[in-house]
C-alpha cells in the first residue's frame, strides 16, 4: 500500500479514537492507577522523539528507567502512577542525535538495546535484503526471511552479501561507548546478529545472548542485564537461557499496560510500539495503549475474512509484519 495513503487512513482512524474520548480515558487511567506505559521505538526522527516526550510531559507523565522498574518489582519503592519507560531497539546510528541528544536535553531516561555485530560491521542484515530487492538482485523480502529456518536464512543472506553493501546504518562501537556515558542512557542487549531466536538452534541462541552481553560489557565497562527480543519473538527456551545467563529483565512487543499483576513476569515485559513515519495522532493512540488493542479487534475479527484482506488491514492498522509468538 502507498505509504501516504496508509498514513492518511491511519490519521483518520486515530482521530476517530481521540474524538470518541478513548485516548482521554486511557491517559486518565495511566495517570490515576498503578499502570506503567512501556514504549519502544526503532529509529525515530528527532522531531518524532521530541514530540513524544513533550506530549507525555504535558499530560503529567513521569519517566522511569529499567533500574527503577527493578526497584518497583523488588518492592523497594511503590508502584508509580503515570510512569513511562522509553526503550529503543537495534542501535541505529541516527539514535545518537535523534534519541540520545533529545533524552539528554529533556533529562529523561532511555534504554537502547544494541545488536553488536551491526555495530562492528556497519549494517543490519535486513538492510542488505531491502536494498538487494530494490535493485532486483533478490526475490526475497525481509519478511520472508524472518519466517525461515535459520540455516536457510543465513544461506540466502550470504549470497546477498556477496552482491551488495548498503553502507553503515548502525552505531559504531565508539558511538555505543559514547552514548553509554550519558547519565540518561542505559545500554541493553539485542543479540549479536539480530536473528529470529525461535528459528535458531539452541546453541546459537545461547551464543547470541551470551556473546552480545560480553561484548557490550567490554565496550562500555558497565553491567548489561536487560534484553529485548529481536522481532518480539520468544519462547520458554529463550526465557530459560536468559535466566541461565543472569539477565534480569527482558522486553517483549506485547501491547499491554504494565500493571502490578505482571510484575512477576520479568522476562516478558510488555511494550507499546511507536511507529516512525505515522501521524502524531496515531502515535498518541499508540503511546497510550489505545491503538493496538482496538485495531487488533478490527483486524482479526472473523476467520471468514480473506487472507489478503487481513494482511492489508494488519499493515494499515498495526504497522508491523508479525504477530507475537508466545509459547508459555
> Over the stretch 49-72, which tens digit does the pLDDT of each residue have?
999 999 999 999 999 999 999 999
- Band (pLDDT 50/70/90 cuts) for residue 1 is low
pLDDT the model gives residue 154: 97
* 27 belongs to a structural domain: yes
Whether 47 shows a pLDDT value over 90: the answer reads yes
Domain that holds residue 104: 3-116+186-318
> Over the stretch 142-162, which tens digit does the pLDDT of each residue have?
999 999 999 999 999 999 999
* 278 belongs to a structural domain: yes
What are the angstrom distances between the C-alpha of 205 and each of 116, 176, 191? Answer: 14, 23, 9
The total number of structural domains that make up the chain? 1
pTM summary value: 0.91
CA distance 175 to 173: 5
* 135 belongs to a structural domain: no
Domain CATH number, residue 234:
3.20.20.370
Alpha-helical runs (H) found in 63-141: 66-73, 95, 101-106, 116-121, 125-134
* 67 belongs to a structural domain: yes
Average pLDDT rounded to a whole number, residues 197-216: 98
CA distance 251 to 159: 32
Sign of CA dihedral 230, 99, 67, 217: positive
Amino acid at each position: 500500500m502507498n505509504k501516504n495513503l496508509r498514513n492518511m487512513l491511519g490519521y483518520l482512524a486515530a482521530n476517530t479514537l481521540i474524538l470518541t474520548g478513548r485516548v482521554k480515558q486511557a491517559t486518565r487511567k495511566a495517570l490515576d492507577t498503578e499502570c506503567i506505559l512501556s514504549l519502544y521505538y526503532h529509529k525515530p526522527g528527532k522531531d518524532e522523539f521530541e514530540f513524544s516526550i513533550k506530549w507525555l510531559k504535558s499530560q503529567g507523565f513521569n519517566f522511569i528507567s529499567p533500574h527503577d522498574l527493578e526497584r518497583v518489582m523488588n518492592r523497594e519503592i511503590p508502584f508509580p502512577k503515570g510512569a513511562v519507560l522509553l526503550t529503543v531497539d537495534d542501535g541505529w546510528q541516527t539514535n545518537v542525535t535523534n534519541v540520545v541528544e533529545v533524552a539528554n536535553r529533556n533529562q529523561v531516561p532511555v534504554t537502547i538495546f544494541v545488536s553488536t555485530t551491526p555495530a562492528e560491521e556497519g549494517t543490519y542484515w535486513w538492510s542488505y535484503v531491502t536494498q538487494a530487492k530494490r535493485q532486483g538482485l533478490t526475490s526475497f523480502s525481509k519478511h520472508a526471511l524472518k519466517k525461515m529456518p535459520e540455516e536457510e536464512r543465513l544461506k540466502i543472506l550470504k549470497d546477498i552479501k556477496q552482491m551488495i553493501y548498503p553502507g553503515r546504518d548502525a552505531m559504531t562501537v565508539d558511538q555505543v561507548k559514547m552514548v553509554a556515558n550519558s547519565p540518561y542512557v542505559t545500554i541493553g542487549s539485542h543479540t549479536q546478529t539480530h536473528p529470529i531466536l525461535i528459528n535458531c538452534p539452541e546453541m546459537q541462541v545461547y551464543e547470541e545472548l551470551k556473546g552480545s552481553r560480553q561484548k557490550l560489557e567490554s565496550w562500555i565497562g558497565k553491567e548489561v542485564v536487560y534484553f529485548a527480543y529481536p522481532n518480539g519473538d520468544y519462547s520458554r527456551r529463550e526465557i530459560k537461557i536468559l535466566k541461565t545467563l543472569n539477565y534480569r529483565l527482558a522486553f517483549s512487543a506485547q501491547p499491554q499496560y504494565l500493571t502490578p499483576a505482571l510484575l512477576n513476569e520479568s522476562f516478558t515485559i510488555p511494550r507499546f510500539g511507536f511507529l516512525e513515519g505515522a501521524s502524531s495522532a496515531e502515535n498518541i493512540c499508540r503511546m497510550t495503549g489505545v491503538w493496538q488493542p482496538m485495531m487488533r479487534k478490527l483486524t482479526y475479527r472473523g476467520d471468514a475474512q480473506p487472507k489478503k484482506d487481513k494482511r492489508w488491514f494488519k499493515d494499515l492498522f498495526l504497522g508491523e509484519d508479525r504477530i507475537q509468538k508466545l509459547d508459555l
